[in-house]
Structures are given as C-alpha cells and as structure tokens.
Structure 1
Amino acid sequence: MEYKIADIEAAFNGHIIQKTGDADYTIKINDNQHTLKILNISTRGIEFVLDSQFHSVKYLDAGTAQMKIVVDGTPFTVSMHHSLNDIVYKNSGGGDSGDAQTALHSQIPGKVVSINVNEGDSVKKGDVVCVLESMKMQVSIKSHKDGIVKKIKVKATGSVAKNDVLAEIE
C-alpha cells in the first residue's frame, strides 16, 4: 500500500512480506526489508519493535484515507494510499464506461457510516452517495454517473462486503 506523510513530497510503499510468528512479520518499506514484532494493539494505538527498536503509535483521528497519529511523541498526518478515493470511485463504476452501469458497487468491505442521498434524489457524477469505514478510515463512495437514485441497498451502521451493490442509479 502507498503512504504519504503530510508536508513531505515523496510517498512510500509498505507491505507485509511474510508472517513469521504470532505477532512477528517481515515487512518491506520501499526497497528495504525489516523485522516487525507487534507487542500491543488497541483502538488507541499500537506498540511494536521494528528492527530491534521500540516504537509507540497513538491514533488521534482518522478520516477519508488519512490518519493523524503520534509516533514516539512526534505528530504526523499520514495519507494511506493518497489516491484511494480516486481508485474507489473508478472501480465502483466511475470512469468512461459508467453510464451503462446502474449498480454502484463497494470496492472495499466496511461499515456504512452515513448515507448522503435518498431514493428519488437526483445525483451528479462524483456526488457522495455514502461513506464507508474500513480499518478506521472513512472512504466516500461517489456516484459513477449522473442520474436518479432508484434504490438504496444498504442501511446506516450496516456492513458491506467488497463488490456489494450499494445503490442503483438510473
């Protein structure tokens, strides 16, 4: 996954290469391989050892593809895959072929945080139809075309799986 720290130009890539134990992993950040041991994880933060050095991360606030954290006492704003909204929009029916498609699909699993339209509402391509939360991040799901909301297929606080139909727009 691609990450970007606010106020720093370069983005970086990080992913898990291999799980080596219960809470032990081999990870790769850009082209460098590291060992990671997770000591404690909760809704407030995570403590871990990265390459034999202890680190503590506290979660402050999470929004659409962005998280405010404090790492070892230093505050950061991290954009997790800073183009996530564009990818979700494109893969949920947005883009060149969107006009022929009625169903607006979810490209991520998550919980429905809010529904921003009602059945019968007129929407423009790019309008926010609903907001999903996945892994403490909120992602706006946008209309893939201009049209009328024929049917809303989800309920607030409900869960959706990847590829579930969220709404029908004609």
Structure 2
Amino acid sequence: MEYYFSRIQLFDESQIVTPSLKRKLDKKRRKKLEKLESQGILIGKNPAKLLHKAQKLAESTEKETDSVTEEIRRKWKVAILKAQGYKVKDDLNLLKKSANKMKKIKRKQFEKWQERNQLVEQTKLERQAKRQANIQERRNRKLTKKFQKAKSKGRIFSLGQT
C-alpha cells in the first residue's frame, strides 16, 4: 500500500486483472485529462500532441481574456496537481524541445531499421547466390561423373574432344 499525501491507493493499477475495472479506471482517467485540458492544464506523455494542444490553447486564450480569478484558480489547480505528483507540462519551449528530440530519435530509429533491412536483404541475396552456385556445381559434377561412367563403359566416344 502506498500513500500519496492525502490520497490512499488501495491497489496497484498495473496488477488489475478484471477488464471491466480496468476500462472504468481508463475512462475515469481519460475524463479527468479531458477536463484538465479544457482548463488549460496539460498532463500527458506524447510531447508532439501536448505541444499541438498547448498552441491551440494559447491561440484561444489570446482571443479571449480570462478573468483574474480564473487564472488564479488555474494556478492553484496546477500547484495541487504538482503536489499530488502529476507532471504538468505547461512550458511551450520545453514542449518544443522534447517534441524535436522525439522526432530526432524516431528518425534515427527509422534509419537504423532501414540499414538493418538492407543488410538482411543483402545477406539473403548472397546466400541465395551461393546456394544457386552450389546447386549448379553439384549438377555439373553429376553430369561429368555420368559422362565418365558412360565413357568407361564405352557408350560415349570422344572424338578428339576432351
């Protein structure tokens, strides 16, 4: 059992066995995230999506000015969430940096994967060529052996040919 400030967690969410309970918790978590996003508080893992949402929120807040009380309420909400252990991502510069970092990582992984695929294809072609060469060599050996046998038995005459 783990304690989080005033919240008590009675079970480990990763060990939930029943699918219905897992669905309920996921739905509850999604609703909470949607509600927080509507208030301008971003909590999540995908930096690109969070950046997109933050930019949309910034555009909407530029158009309409929030009252001071709403801004204070939002700041308190953020402070409470941070105290509860949530990572509130509200800095646009950091979101941009992390989104770019993820793009670079994905691009590098894609390039590595392409190299791996090329290497696999190349080795496959080399092995196929080697196999074909071995099969052809075996076929030639069989034919020469067959001709030698026929020659020794007198079935084939070589007239000046080697």
TM range (shorter): under 0.3
Greater Rg by CA: 2
| Greater strand fraction, Structure 1 or Structure 2 | 1
Instruction: Provide TM-score, normalisation by structure 1.
Output: 0.20
Between Structure 1 and Structure 2, the one with more helix by share is 2
